[in-house]
Amino acid sequence: MNLIVLDYTDLLIAAGLIVALALLSLLMRLRVERQLLIAAGRTTVQLLLVGLVLRALFAHVTLAWVSLMALVMLLVAGYEVMARQKRPFKGAWGYALGTGAMFVSSFATTVFALLVIIGNDPWYYPQYAIPLLGMMLGNTMTGVALSLDRLTDFAWQQQAVIETRLALGQEWRVAMRDSIRESVRIGLIPIINAMAAAGVVSLPGMMTGQILSGTPPMEAVKYQILIMFMITAGTGFAILLATWLGGRRLFDDRQRLRLDRLK
Amino acid sequence: MLTIEGLRVQNVTLDLEIRPGEIVCLAGPSGSGKSLLLRAVADLIPHQGRVLLNGEDCAGMPAHIWRRRVSLLPAESRWWADLVGEHFPQPVSEEMAALGFGPEVMQWQVARCSTGERQRLAILRLLAQAPSALLLDEPTASLDHESIGRVEEMIDRYRRLHRAPVLWVSHDPDQMRRVADRRLEINGGRVEEVRR
């Protein structure tokens, strides 16, 4: 089966559905039409731009350009992680913690998959590297943001309990064990749900995309399983790293709970 | 011996030496920094000054070891596990009986204990660690008359047996008269000894 190429008229027809929805919102005075149209506009512009960038990237396959693209993706994801927290760390830590954890984990997992599992030549070939990294970062971002948000909020709410445990001579790791465990669990919920529901409740996006573009279903399924495992491992490692570093940062060298380090 | 040299939090500075087995009571209006001073002695908040236990500097030992030796009882008891027994590193049957609990208390759910029961259990939990010095922040504020007597007796016995210096924050002048060897009061940033 060959790929059926969409032309811009097809997209306009789909856009007509959004306009219809906006009109309904206007008629029913739901006041979401503005947000809806802006979001639809953003998605169009952002995706067209990334399409152009990817086209340029595919035409000039160098490690430097692929790395630059990856860096931009990482920095945006790092900002999102910070912005989604109720009480992020003050100063550079607020940004660096999530970004650093995602960098170590997402990049390591993606490079590992590209080198060891996919084995393309060159290994950084953007057709594989950029979508893989994008899916890794997208999921890791959600996991790390949820975990860090939970961790810092927990420390804030449970200050008296944590200090009681410290006062009884517990080390910070022991005093924070419940909070760290809970934060890791919360961060992993979305990806565990996605794995549990895959194929039964939902067909994952990447697999759907591959099937639409003519890939035989079993090949698409294999890729999807690979991606799921990578995302889970990458998200898990990033969460472990971020919660451990974040937990450590909540205490000073005398193991005092330092909520003044949070915004 | 608990030695406190130039300990400063907020605007209060404390210089104090508590001899082995001595109880020093600390009073002062709300917000005057009594609890903060106790927390600083336990090294739970950043502070200026030095604290030494039998000549050993707090800054020279790992923080959690210091807090095991110089243990703070916060004003309100806090619990992190479901069962009372999960908070106790080792059984303390003798002391439990002295505060009116049987051995079955270890199976109790914390959530079903009254405030007073929790406070008495918190004192047991603290003493179960065999600290060398005690920092008590209004340990009997939520207790009835009978329990207050029992707790006072128990702490008195503990400090004699272990020759533990005790720094005791209290609001109750009668209690201070009963338990204190010396009394201090915070007045506008200054800590003064109260003469009887």
Query: How confident is the model at residue A40, as a pLDDT?
Result: 94
CB contact under 8 A, B63 and A167: no
CB contact under 8 A, B77 and A160: no
Contact B41, B51 (CB under 8 A): yes
Instruction: Spell out which chain B residues touch chain A, with contact meaning CB-CB distance below 8 angstroms.
Output: 39, 42-46, 62-65, 67-68, 71-74, 76-80, 125-126, 129
Residue A96 has pLDDT above 60, yes or no: yes
Could you give the CA distance from residue A217 to residue A228 in angstroms, rounded to a whole number?
A: 16
Contact A94, A263 (CB under 8 A): yes
Residue B148 has pLDDT above 80, yes or no: yes
Angular region, B55: left φ>0, alpha ψ -120 to 50, beta rest: left
Q: Do the strands B166-169 and B23-27 form a parallel or antiparallel pair, or are they unpaired?
A: parallel
Residue A72 has pLDDT above 90, yes or no: yes
CB contact under 8 A, B44 and A257: yes
Pick among A254, A255, A257 to test the B interface (most B CBs inside 10 A): A254
ipTM of the complex: 0.94
Instruction: Spell out which chain A residues touch chain B, with contact meaning CB-CB distance below 8 angstroms.
Output: 160-161, 163-171, 178, 252, 254-257
Q: What is the least distance, in Å, from the CA of B195 to any CA of chain A?
A: 32
Tokens of A238: 């990033």
Residue B84 has pLDDT above 90, yes or no: yes
Beta pairing partners, B191:
B186
- In the three-class reduction of DSSP (H, G, I as helix; E, B as strand; rest coil), residue B144 is classed as coil
Q: What is the pLDDT of residues A151-171, one digit of tens each?
A: 999 999 999 999 999 999 999
pLDDT bin (cut points 50, 70, 90) of residue B163 is very high
What proportion of chain A, given as a percentage, has pLDDT over 90? 81
Greatest Cα pair distance in chain B = 47
Q: Do the strands B12-18 and B2-9 form a parallel or antiparallel pair, or are they unpaired?
A: antiparallel
Q: CA Rg, chain B, in Å? A: 16
Give B109's DSSP letter: B
Total-model pTM: 0.86
Residue B112 has pLDDT above 60, yes or no: yes
Render B84-119 in DSSP notation, one character per residue.
Answer: GGGG-SS--HHHHHHTT--GGGGGSBGGGS-HHHHH
CB contact under 8 A, A166 and B67: yes
Query: How confident is the model at residue A81, as a pLDDT?
Result: 93
Q: What is the pLDDT of residues B120-144, one digit of tens each?
A: 999 999 999 999 999 999 999 989 9
Give B181's DSSP letter: S
Query: How confident is the model at residue A2, as a pLDDT?
Result: 64
Could you give the CA distance from residue A109 to residue A115 in angstroms, rounded to a whole number?
A: 10
Q: What average pLDDT does the structure give for chain B?
A: 93
Contact B15, B5 (CB under 8 A): yes
Query: How confident is the model at residue A5, as a pLDDT?
Result: 83
Listed in sequence order, the DSSP H helices in B99-172 are 115-127, 145-162
What proportion of chain A, given as a percentage, has pLDDT over 70? 99
Phi, psi of B109 (to 5 degrees): -85, 130
